[in-house]
Every structure is written in structure tokens, then in C-alpha cells.
Amino acid sequence: MDYRDTVFISVAELLSFSKAADNLHISQPAVTRHIKELESKYNTNLFDRKGNKIYLTRAGKKVYNAFKQIEKEYRDLNFEISQINQSILGEFIIGASSTISQYVLPRVIASFHKRYPKIHIHLMNGNSFEMEKLLLENKVDVALVENHSSQPGIQYKDFLNDELIVVTGRNSVYAKRSVITKEDLLQLPIVLREQGSGTLEVIKKALKSKGLDFEQLNTLIHLGSTEAIKNFLQDFDGLAIVSEKAVPTELYMKSLVKLNVKDFAMHRKFRMAFIPGHKNRQVELFENFLFHYNF
């Protein structure tokens, strides 16, 4: 693809010239120039500019969809040629936080293996802090983390949205509630993940944004995995805060009940973390695959 097309795709997905410039490691005027050249080529506006925000025009959406298809065809072509040359082989190590390794990554790795059967992936898991430490120690090639904070020397890229939700067991005395207040959240018994967990960090930050003190939570126990928390809830009159990705089956089967917290939500991004300049060809293939995976 023409580099100008790549710039357009980045702006279209981020809806920001400045963020696209950061993502592509070029200047914002360079991004603007590429977009203007593309608009001149097609003799139409590809973006509507309203105040500080931009939006794809009807033509822009059509160009974006076409470019994404072209981008996919390029990827497929590169893969087919490399398969002819039998060059897609090797191995790498992924360090993934507990939630991602259990509830997000297995399907991705299985699908990746079908496409690149000669690339062997080794998976290590723990909490986000532990995975970042392994990355800095060069013990993993790439880390997938769920925390908000960033470590010096590590570059991060968002790849999936997530929400933390409040749940209780179906036999809990709170299961008949559909909505609780922030005050309820502080007062009711709760079970949480361990220190160092990305989930715990996000909870602390969300509470702080609402003027609430994490230390005021009525925390009964900290457990080392979401699976342990889910099992604990089966015989516990209390709450837990877990990733929505971890409990779709339990919510569908009604073994767990979701409780909405009035005027309070906890959103986060799952992120790929890597050391700049340290990605090998296999990791680059996995990164491209991950960012285009249909979750």
C-alpha cells in the first residue's frame, strides 16, 4: 500500500491527526499533508471537521473500507508468498496478565496457529506488574497487560476495550438487586484480586475519580485469580469486581448476577506492551494478527 493510504487509515481509526502522528512517529503537518493529497486525488473531503473533532464523511467511510480490504489482501499475499518460501517459522514468548491469558488470548493463539503453524508460541501468565517486569528483563518478547499505569522504557498499544463490572452469586442476599449505589459499593462485603493485579489498579483509579477511598471498601479477602473469585461467589453473601470478558457464561447461565452501580463505571483498555526496537518478525506477525482479530 502507498504510505499515504496507511496514514489515512490511522487517522480514520483514531479520528485524530495528532494521535495518528504519534502512532506513525511522524509530524502532525506531515499527516495533514498526506490527507490533503488524498482528498485532492479523490476531489472530495474525506473528513468533516467540527471544532476540535473530526469525522469520516460518506466518501471517507467508503475509502476506509476499501483501504482495509486492500490492506488485508496485501497481508494475505505476503503470507502466501512467505509460505511458498517456507520462511514463516520460529518462536516467541508472550507474557499475559491473568484475565487476558484466560479469557481473551486462547482463541487468538489458536487462530494464529492455524495461519502460522510453524511459529511456536510460549505463554507465561501472572498479573500485569509481573509481566511488565519480565518484559524489562527480556524474559518475554511481548506482554499483554490490563493495567492503567505505564513503565519507563516500555511502549504500549491498545488492542481491546474492557469493562469491570460488579457481580454477586445467584444465592447471595444481594442477587435480587439490579442497581446499587456507590455507598453500597463501599459498605457491602467484597472479594478482590491480589495486589499487583491490573484489575485492582483500575478499581483504585475509578474509585478515586469519584472521590471514593479504596481503603474504605469492605474487603473480605484478596484472591489470586478471577476463577477463584467466581468459585468463591457461589457461597458468599457479597460482591466482586471482575472483567466482563471473564463472566459471559456465568451471566447467561445466571450463576452470577450483574449489579449496576448508579453513576459509576469502570472502563479500561487491554494493551500490548513491548520494548521499542526489540520486536522480531514473529512478534510483528502476531501484533498485526492481534490488532485485526475479530473479537
Question: Which is nearest to 152 in space by CA: 165, 138, 136, 168?
Answer: 136
Q: Which stretch of 108-122, 132-146, 165-179, 272-286 has the lowest confidence by average pLDDT?
A: 272-286
Segment 94-117 shows an average pLDDT of: 94
Grid cell listed for 292: 485485526
Chain mean pLDDT for the chain: 91
With H, G, I as helix, E, B as strand and everything else as coil, classify residue 121.
Answer: strand
Quick one: pLDDT at residue 76? 66
Residue with the bigger pLDDT between 78 and 19: it is 19
- Does the structure show a pLDDT above 90 at 274? yes
Segment 229-258 shows an average pLDDT of: 95
Residue boundaries of the structural domains of the chain:
3-84, 90-160+270-291, 163-266
Does domain 163-266 match CATH 3.40.190.10? yes
Residue with the bigger pLDDT between 194 and 109: it is 109
Whole-angstrom Cα distance, residue 90 to residue 76?
Answer: 19
- Does the structure show a pLDDT above 70 at 82? no
- Does the structure show a pLDDT above 80 at 53? yes
CA-based radius of gyration for the chain: 22
Exposure string (b/e) for 144-176, b if CB count within 10 Å is 16 or more?
Answer: bbbbeeebeebebeebbebebbbbbbeebebbe
- Does the structure show a pLDDT above 70 at 87? no
- Does the structure show a pLDDT above 70 at 240? yes
Segment 220-248 shows an average pLDDT of: 94
Quick one: pLDDT at residue 269? 94
Region class of 7: left (phi > 0), else alpha (psi between -120 and 50), else beta: alpha
Full-model pTM: 0.68
Segment 90-102 shows an average pLDDT of: 92
Quick one: pLDDT at residue 77? 77
- Does the structure show a pLDDT above 80 at 78? no
- Does the structure show a pLDDT above 70 at 85? no
- % of the chain exceeding 70 in pLDDT: 96
Separation in Å, CA 129 to CA 97, 194, 199, 222: 8, 11, 11, 16
Same topology for domains 3-84 and 90-160+270-291, yes or no? no
Quick one: pLDDT at residue 79? 61
pLDDT tens-digit series, residues 158-194 = 999 999 999 999 999 999 998 999 999 999 999 998 8
What is the architecture of the domain spanning 3-84? Orthogonal Bundle (1.10)
Quick one: pLDDT at residue 282? 85
Exposed, middle or buried: residue 228 (CB in 10 Å: 0-12, 13-18, 19+)?
Answer: middle
With H, G, I as helix, E, B as strand and everything else as coil, classify residue 154.
Answer: coil
CATH fold of 90-160+270-291 reads D-Maltodextrin-Binding Protein; domain 2 (3.40.190)
Grid cell listed for 76: 494475505
